[in-house]
């Protein structure tokens, strides 16, 4: 499948690299066509991946992973262009972290509590199908859940479009996620819940000095 | 031990009843000395518990459980009186839920994200020792973790005072919590993290129609 990965940070690299490994065609998108990290990503994958602007990548992808910084995601998708993203699935992995008020980061007030980044993207680009998932853990686990507890821990998913969630689940299965560990929380407003995990995630990371953990919902 | 339980709701009843069962002397506190729910609580325990105003209960208790509604907790503790709570441990189980903006509730803006109810109580009553714990789950599990997964799931604890946290851990052990399932996140500012679990807790509850679940931190 042709997949756009927007964002050149750790998350974009992890998602993009795993997708290449799984045989997908990946184009990494960033602000400029000559982004150094994107070039390194392409070089690392010996031509099995490509890079370009947000618009180039979005036009290329049948499905789009948003791996940009949460505070810049709407701008990045605007740069990608509505004509390039319209009608497509946006897998939104970003978190609306606010680094302006000290560490650990808090959440951007306008994108939290009674709103969320996932909802803001869906509202700004109504013809897209936003699926929020994977945003509640370290990127190493996103693409390789078996790294801990044989993959038996929880990944949340939410979004308005049931078919879009099903298509994303197939990719999650390819990453190694078993269906019984993918918990569908309903429509995209549940991103208010999953994005709110970040504050406690950061506290656990700080207390344990280990980012390779995840939550499992036990009942 | 003589213990005050402030609040007559489901959480206060669950905590108070379990403490009585464990042999502690419990006084339930509420706004007025003749609260019907508090009277029913006392009657249920055949005189092994008592009830009174917030001030009566706080004066009685060597340790104080705050089981009031989060938005009313500071007022309740103010009514309890600084002279009755000063120097004592306040086990803060409350969550700053905001029911004014529709369901599911969000968090009270002034008590979330860059602040928390736990911190607000500690700041308002600086001579107390606030220990935040148990607030991330259904009250049935708080006092009987073995109800699911043989008790193997996570309870967070945070607070400035290390000795106070240790004393609360002893009570948690009596409830059935094993030390390896009690995760200390540090000082009371980590209540920003644990109180932020509520939004996702409420979404999971809604999606699964089951409140008898908890999170386990897997690494």
CATH code of A151's domain:
3.40.50.720
The Cα A189–Cα B193 span in angstroms is: 20
* A35–B contact, CB cutoff 8 A: no
Would you say residue B187 lies in a domain? yes
> Residue A47: pLDDT band by 50, 70, 90 thresholds?
confident
Q: Where are the alpha helices (DSSP H) in chain A?
A: 10-21, 36-44, 54-60, 73-80, 82-85, 117-124, 139-142, 162-175, 191-195, 197-208
Q: Which ipTM value was assigned to this complex?
A: 0.97
**B132-170: b (≥16 Cβ within 10 Å) or e:** bbbbbbbbebbbbbebbeebebbbbbbbbbeebbebbbe
Mean per-residue pLDDT over chain B, rounded: 98
Mean pLDDT of A210-217: 98
A115 CA: distance to closest CA in chain B (Å)? 10
**Per-residue pLDDT reduced to its tens digit, B26-62:** 999 999 999 999 999 999 998 889 999 999 999 999 9
Q: Which of B106, B152, B217 sits opposite A213 (nearest CB)?
A: B217
Residues 6+ apart with CB under 8 A from A102: none
Chain B interface mutation, best of A99, A190, A200, highest count of B Cβ atoms under 10 Å:
A200
**Per-residue pLDDT reduced to its tens digit, A49-60:** 999 999 999 999
Q: Which of residues 170-189 of B touch A (CB under 8 A)?
A: 183-186
Mean pLDDT of B69-86: 98
Would you say residue A175 lies in a domain? yes
A172 CA: distance to closest CA in chain B (Å)? 19
Would you say residue A215 lies in a domain? no
Mean pLDDT of A141-145: 98
* Torsion B157-B162-B165-B166 (CA) sign: positive
From the list B111, B151, B158, B114, the residue with the least C-alpha distance to B133 is B158
Mean pLDDT of B129-141: 98
Contact B113 A200 (CB under 8 A): no
pLDDT at B84: 98
Q: Which of B149, B199, B208 sits opposite A192 (nearest CB)?
A: B199
Would you say residue A144 lies in a domain? yes
Tell me whether residue A124 is exposed, middle or buried, using C-beta atoms within 10 angstroms of its C-beta: 0 to 12, 13 to 18, 19 or more: middle
The Cα B136–Cα B145 span in angstroms is: 12
* A114–B contact, CB cutoff 8 A: yes
Which residue does chain B place closest to A186, by CA atoms?
Answer: B207
Tell me whether residue B43 is exposed, middle or buried, using C-beta atoms within 10 angstroms of its C-beta: 0 to 12, 13 to 18, 19 or more: exposed
Strand partners, A97: A107
Would you say residue B41 lies in a domain? yes
Mean pLDDT of A105-126: 98
> Residue A65: pLDDT band by 50, 70, 90 thresholds?
very high
Contact A219 B109 (CB under 8 A): no
A32 CA: distance to closest CA in chain B (Å)? 34
Would you say residue A42 lies in a domain? yes
Strand partners, A156: A183
Q: Does the pLDDT of residue B209 top 90, yes or no?
A: yes
Q: Which residues of A touch B218 (CB under 8 A)?
A: 148-149, 152-153, 213-216
pLDDT at B210: 98
* A126–B contact, CB cutoff 8 A: no
From the list A89, A62, A66, the residue with the least C-alpha distance to A78 is A66
Would you say residue A219 lies in a domain? no
* B202–A contact, CB cutoff 8 A: yes
Would you say residue B213 lies in a domain? no
Number of domains chain B is built from: 1
The boundaries of the domain holding residue B46 are 2-208
Would you call B177 helix, strand, or coil by DSSP?
Answer: coil
Is the separation of the CB atoms in B48 and B27 below 8 Å? Answer: no
Would you call A159 helix, strand, or coil by DSSP?
Answer: coil
* B112–A contact, CB cutoff 8 A: yes
Distances (CA, A) of A181 to A154, A172, B46, B169: 5, 10, 46, 31
Would you call B165 helix, strand, or coil by DSSP?
Answer: helix
pLDDT at B171: 98
* B149–A contact, CB cutoff 8 A: yes
**Per-residue pLDDT reduced to its tens digit, B146-193:** 999 999 999 999 999 999 999 999 999 999 999 999 999 999 999 999
């Amino acid at each position: 499948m042709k997949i756009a990965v927007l964002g050149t940070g750790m998350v974009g690299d992890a998602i993009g690299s795993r997708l290449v490994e799984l045989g997908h065609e990946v184009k990494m998108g960033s602000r400029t066509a000559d982004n150094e990290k994107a070039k390194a990503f392409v070089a690392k994958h010996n031509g099995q991946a490509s890079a370009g602007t947000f618009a180039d990548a979005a036009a290329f992808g049948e499905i789009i992973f948003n791996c940009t910084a949460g505070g810049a995601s709407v701008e990045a998708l605007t740069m990608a262009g509505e004509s390039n993203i319209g009608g497509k699935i946006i897998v939104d992995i970003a978190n609306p972290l606010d680094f302006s008020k000290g560490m650990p980061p808090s959440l951007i007030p306008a994108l939290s509590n009674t709103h969320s980044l996932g909802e803001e993207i869906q509202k700004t680009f109504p013809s897209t199908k936003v699926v929020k998932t994977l945003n509640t853990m370290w990127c190493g686990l996103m693409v390789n859940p078996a790294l801990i507890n044989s993959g038996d821990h929880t990944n949340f998913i939410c979004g308005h479009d049931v078919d879009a969630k099903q298509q994303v689940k197939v990719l999650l299965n390819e990453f190694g996620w078993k269906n019984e560990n993918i918990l569908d929380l309903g429509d995209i407003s549940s991103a208010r819940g999953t994005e709110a995990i970040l504050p406690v995630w950061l506290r656990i990371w700080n207390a344990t000095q280990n980012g390779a953990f995840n939550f499992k919902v036990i009942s």
